Structure 1
Amino acid sequence: MDPRIREHAEIIANHSVDLQEGDNVVVDAHPVAEDLAVALHEVIGDRGANPVTTSQRTGKRQQRAYLRASDDEFETPDHELALIENTDVYIAIRASDNVTQTSDVDPETQAAHRQAHQPILEERLSTRWCLTQFPAPANAQLAEMSTEAYEGFVWDAVNKDWEAQRDHQENMVELMDAGEEIRIVSGETTDVTMSIDGNPTINDHGEHNLPGGEVFTAPQPDSVEGEVLFDMPLYHQGREITDVYLEFEDGEVVSHSAAKNEDVLTNVLETDDGARRLGELGIGMNRDIDRFTYNMLFDEKMGDTVHMAVGRAYDDTVGEDNEANESAVHVDMIVDMSEDSRIEIDGEVVQRDGTFRFEEGGV
């Protein structure tokens, strides 16, 4: 087995989920990620923990079959919820043999299924959880890379000194935590402001998401004003959505468009009331992620990007006296900040053209 896979498994166990003796562990992995699942089981066995392997979340082929045969009416599956209720550690391994496997499933069906599974998502988020990536050939193909090159890209971003990364990102955390209002400007197409007053900034250094490499918080739901063009594509429900444009008034999306698959975007925004508001603002800071790969787990961490998510706000990004945006969805979208762009906190520029003021050559 490639030693980088074993290192990946050790980082998950030691750094991301703090695996302990007696832990009940769910490893949710697509079959093409078998090598990483095997390496994790070796670590789990060595620690005296108890593994169960599923492909419930990542097995897109069987999910497609189920959803296409369904009548669009779903209830929360009690047996799946019971499994997670008895889980201490949940590890999801992204990998695919076909990244567009669910592209012919009706978006409304997928939205209804996702809403029924919201209690299970909530329960997963209460565990020690980690979402990571195995460099499968289909993901390499989507990134327009050879499998070998993509393997190097993934493990360079994952198998790194996460304490050093934490220290680097803490510079931005301190700036955001001291601020009240943040403004994102990029070219003539993006100019949006939002209040982050009282909401803590999270330093993501490879714990829940592996790779990490961002700092993020939640905007106050009613505070978002302006317009954003998300000029990097995203895959959602097996479909590519490009050039997403959102206009906000009093925190709510009042106008939207997309150059491709606008209907998928519309279905996301119509999921529930919270889907038309922002639940997250994230700043990418992982310099080992230096190219776009159509994989949000990596793309949102690039050091010259920001991302915003419509939908659910994470509980730990909402201050005690502030309102949390609630939704069954959380969909991230990315703005390229490498040129003609800036981030301001309370009117002070803290990043210009992708370079932070605390980096060499910064503002």
Structure 2
Amino acid sequence: MDPRIREHAEVVVDHSVDLSEGDDVVIDAHPVAEDLVVALHELAADRGANPLVVQDRLGERYQRAFLRNREEFETPGHVEALYDAMDAYIAIRGNANVTETSDVDPETNAAYQQAQQPLLAERLSKTWNLTQYPAAANAQLAQMSTEGYENFVWDAVNKDWDAVREHQSQMVDILDPADEVRIVSGDTTDVTMSVAGNPTLNDYGEKNLPGGEVFTAPVADSVEGEVLFDKPLYHQGREVTDVYLDFEGGEVVDHSAGKNEEVLTEVLETDDGANRLGELGIGMNRDIDRFTYNMLFDEKMGDTVHMAVGRAYEDTVGEDNEQNDSAVHVDMIVDMSEDSRIEVDGEVVQRDGTFEFEDGFEG
């Protein structure tokens, strides 16, 4: 076994979920990630935890078969009971075929996601971690060799996360007390939103691994302006390019995409909360230096901002603000490396990807 797999497992167990004696942990993984699952079991045994492997959320062929042969869905009570009983949940991305579900109707996918929402809420209420195994299919999607992708993944995962936390805390200190944020990129993106009263979180590899962002939730009805997401979105096995969203009073009033616009439309029509923003995130991990069609990594890239339509994470919503609720949470990315700026309460805090606390910043 590659020793980096053991190191990856140690980061998950000790840093991300802090597995303890007696913990019941569910590990959701495709068989291609077996080596990482084995390493996690070794560590679970060392720490006296009780692992159970499922292939529920991250399945491929059997999930496609189910979705293509059913149109109406209900929340599976037996799965909900499992999640209710567990102490921790570890999800490992890794695919045999990244486009396996690409021929499932988007409307069917939307209905399935709605039925899965109580399961998602239960998982998020527990200690959880989402990470990536460098499978060959994911390397292919990233247009990398298998070895090159392995190096990319483990360089991004096996890091000094305390140092990451310290660096990113400088942006948290700017954003957390703020009232208004404005994102400008070229002549295609100019959007403002209130974040007043909503906490800013520092993602340093606890829930998402790799980490490398700071994020918060917009006040749901405050978003105004237009955004062109110039990095592709890979959703439901389909590539959606040049996503354009126009916001008024917090709602998407117009949208388009250069490719697979119907997928975007189905996302926005999933439920009432799907056409509002649930997250504003700022990528700060410059070790993630290329786009790989994997949002777990892509949203953390330095010189980027991402926004998610749909569900807001509970921890990012202040007690006096309303949490945007939805069955979906779909992130999309804006390149901020050129002709771009982030303004916080009228002050430029990032220009062309460089933060005000970094060398080379020009306000």
TM-score higher than 0.5? yes
Cross-structure match for 2:278: 279
Q: 1:337, 1:200 → 2: CA distance?
A: 23
Cross-structure match for 1:59: 59
Q: CA deviation at 1:69?
A: 1.3
Q: CA deviation at 1:359?
A: 1.1
Cross-structure match for 1:45: 45
Q: 2:341, 2:75 → 1: CA distance?
A: 43
Cross-structure match for 1:12: 12
Cross-structure match for 2:344: 345
Q: CA deviation at 1:61?
A: 1.3
Give secondary structure in 2 for the equivalent of 1:322: coil
Task: Confirm or deny that 1:28 pairs with 2:28.
Answer: yes
Contact 2:205 2:211 (C-alpha < 8 Å) held by counterparts? yes
Cross-structure match for 2:222: 223
Give secondary structure in 2 for the equivalent of 1:117: helix
Spell out, residue by residue over 1:113-159, the C-alpha distance to the aligned partner (whole angstroms, 9 max, x if none). Answer: 11111111000001110000000001001111100010000001000
Cross-structure match for 1:201: 200
Letter in 1 for 2:276: R
Give secondary structure in 2 for the equivalent of 1:209: coil
Q: 2:317, 2:191 → 1: CA distance?
A: 20
TM-score normalised by length of structure 1 = 0.99
Cross-structure match for 1:69: 69
Task: Confirm or deny that 1:186 pairs with 2:185.
Answer: yes
Once the two structures are superposed, the pairs formed by residues 127-166 of structure 1 within 5 Å of their partners are: 127-166=126-165
Give secondary structure in 2 for the equivalent of 1:83: helix
Give secondary structure in 2 for the equivalent of 1:210: coil
Cross-structure match for 1:238: 237
Give secondary structure in 2 for the equivalent of 1:64: helix
Q: 1:55, 1:354 → 2: CA distance?
A: 39
Cross-structure match for 2:310: 311
Q: 1:148, 1:217 → 2: CA distance?
A: 35
Q: CA deviation at 1:67?
A: 0.7
Spell out, residue by residue over 1:232-282, the C-alpha distance to the aligned partner (whole angstroms, 9 max, x if none). Answer: 001111110000000000000000000000000000000111101000000
Spell out, residue by residue over 1:267-299, the C-alpha distance to the aligned partner (whole angstroms, 9 max, x if none). Answer: 000011110100000000011101100000000
Contact 2:177 2:197 (C-alpha < 8 Å) held by counterparts? no
Contact 2:131 2:209 (C-alpha < 8 Å) held by counterparts? yes
Q: CA deviation at 1:323?
A: 1.1
Cross-structure match for 1:268: 267
Spell out, residue by residue over 1:40-82, the C-alpha distance to the aligned partner (whole angstroms, 9 max, x if none). Answer: 0000111111111011011111100111111x11111011111
Give secondary structure in 2 for the equivalent of 1:360: coil
Q: 2:205, 2:340 → 1: CA distance?
A: 27
Give secondary structure in 2 for the equivalent of 1:152: helix
Cross-structure match for 1:3: 3
Letter in 1 for 2:64: R
Q: 1:248, 1:224 → 2: CA distance?
A: 6
Q: 2:344, 2:296 → 1: CA distance?
A: 26
Q: 1:221, 1:59 → 2: CA distance?
A: 33
Contact 2:117 2:327 (C-alpha < 8 Å) held by counterparts? yes
Once the two structures are superposed, the pairs formed by residues 291-302 of structure 1 within 5 Å of their partners are: 291-302=290-301
Over 6 Å off, 4+ runs: none
Q: 1:3, 1:335 → 2: CA distance?
A: 35
Q: 2:206, 2:24 → 1: CA distance?
A: 18
Q: 1:177, 1:43 → 2: CA distance?
A: 36
Cross-structure match for 1:124: 123
Q: Which runs of 5+ in 1 are unaligned?
A: none
Q: 1:24, 1:221 → 2: CA distance?
A: 36
Give secondary structure in 2 for the equivalent of 1:114: helix
Spell out, residue by residue over 1:181-218, the C-alpha distance to the aligned partner (whole angstroms, 9 max, x if none). Answer: 00000000000000001100000000000000000000
Task: Confirm or deny that 1:87 pairs with 2:86.
Answer: yes
Percent of residue pairs identical:
76
Give secondary structure in 2 for the equivalent of 1:335: strand
Q: 2:335, 2:32 → 1: CA distance?
A: 31
Letter in 2 for 1:13: V
TM-score normalised by length of structure 2 = 0.99
